[in-house]
Chain A
Amino acid sequence: MKNAKGLSLIEILVVLIITGLIAACVSAAVIGGYYMLKQAEHKSRAMSITHVKLQEYLSHSFDNLQPGQESGNESNISNAFVETQDNTYFNWTVFIDQDKTMGANRVPYKNVTVETKYSEVDPQGKAVNTRTIRLSNVVPYPLIHILSRKSQAPFPDGKYEAPRTDLRYYPGMKEEEYNWAGILDGAKVLDFNYAVPKDLIIMYNLAISYDTDHPPDPDETVMTRCRIDNGGTEGIITRTPIRSQVFINNILQVGNVGAGPHTVHIEWCHESDNAGVKVWLRAYDVTVVAVEYKDNP
């Protein structure tokens, strides 16, 4: 029996130990794989939450994005996220701040950053790491702004009367001979304040009426013009016969209006040597399209 061939107990134990080690490695890989999958799913979930919030804030217009921060959790997006929670919780924070580009025009933009934080747990269930997913994008200052103002209802006769100039128009008429005044009580019809220099297209329409008991001569006209702030006439002066054309339209361009507050003035005067003729404003509308000024278009 002592010389019989076969495996000794030692040999079997060695084989078993080696097999056990291999099994331990495989099970470690299985458990590790499970947690790696969980980590990948958590990252994907955090990315999904972050991206939804980023898109939500990017959908706001420039003016509606107020600098500051806001925070919440996954329940703000959908209850489906709450129903599928394991013991990892996701909290998002949105940071909005304002900055300006480099260069001459210093165009403002709002920077939107969304951070989603979550704590990862180890196989024993202890929180080990706080992970953060962060996405950013900007909402630029709009290239085009449109401003508009109009009378809400027709004005009654006599409310706004065109100032009269005794002189009939002649080429080279001097500034002080026109007797200009704003179409409304104040000098301006609207104001604007853009953060960058703008090229403007200004369009205005005026409807006028006159005293039918004292009608103007057929060749009597109303003249209108537009000014920015207290500058000179922009574009052309319109000269419109009153009796045949009670609607006045003008479109003009103003280039490179600097950043900051400005006012638009629409002025008029009535050329007539007859003091009994009255011309009144019936209605008006003014539209300003402001496009970002470019040095090198």
Chain B
Amino acid sequence: MTLLELLIALALAGVIFLGIFHVSTIAGKQIHVYIERYNAYSQIGYALDDMALRMPSASKIKTPFTQSGALETIHAMRFIGASDPYHVVPYEGDTDYRYRVRNGAGEDGALVLEVMDGSNIEKAEILVEGKFRPRVSFIRHGEQHDAEPDFMTVVIEVFCDKSKAIGLPEKLVKAEGIRFWFVDVVQPQ
């Protein structure tokens, strides 16, 4: 092998190995981002399923929409619902539930389901982790959209910070349409 041949071989090998390194780095990042996005979607799906399960048995809305005819969005929902959503008995074993994002001072930013006792939080379950910076919107479309008064749309947005590294949008969104049982979610003050 001549020196020239050796140099050509080294240069080509360098380029190929650089390519392999680059591709494997991207693949590694991709796998990491995919897992993170899958995790985020699973958590959003879990949160929406939880809401779709508990809210139809709501017997009283404690954080109501206030504008009967208009499009209105609120970011926390407190209601009296069945303690066991699989066994709904009106006004028996009721529980005070609250969905909110813990975004107060010193809080972790997670979307949680809280069981309330007056102003005390008895129990809290994390539905979407704070690292995804979740936002929840309970939207009532109002009468101009011909929406029924017991219907609302819940939209959950989260952020996957690493997604931008592989050219995917950071924000993930999922929505669910939810109906209440016998409660009009609009209670004008």
A: residues with CB less than 8 A from B are 6-9, 12-13, 16, 19-20, 22-23, 26-27, 29-30, 33-34, 37-38, 41, 44-45, 48-49, 51-56, 58-61, 64, 76-78, 80-81, 83-84, 86
What does the 1/0 interface line of B1-24 toward A look like (CB < 8 Å)?
100010011001100100110011
B: residues with CB less than 8 A from A are 1, 5, 8-9, 12-13, 16, 19-20, 23-24, 26-27, 30, 34, 37, 41, 137, 139, 141, 145, 147-148, 150-151, 153, 155, 157, 166-169, 171-179
A54 near B137 (CB under 8 angstroms)? no
Residue of A nearest to B1 (CB): A6
B34 near A77 (CB under 8 angstroms)? no
Q: Considering the chains assembled together, what is the distance between the CA atoms of A26 and B16 in angstroms? A: 13
A54 near B16 (CB under 8 angstroms)? no
Residue of A nearest to B45 (CB): A44
Chain B contact residues: helix, strand, loop or mixed = mixed
CB distance from B39 to the nearest CB of A (A): 14
**Which are the 8 A-B pairs with shortest beta-carbon distances?**
A55-B177, A59-B151, A52-B177, A12-B9, A78-B155, A59-B148, A9-B5, A80-B173
CB distance from B40 to the nearest CB of A (A): 11
A78 near B1 (CB under 8 angstroms)? no
A86 near B169 (CB under 8 angstroms)? yes
* Residues in B whose Cβ lies below 8 Å from that of A29: 27
A52 near B172 (CB under 8 angstroms)? no
* Residues in B whose Cβ lies below 8 Å from that of A26: 20, 23-24, 27
Q: Considering the chains assembled together, what is the distance between the CA atoms of A55 and B179 in angstroms? A: 8
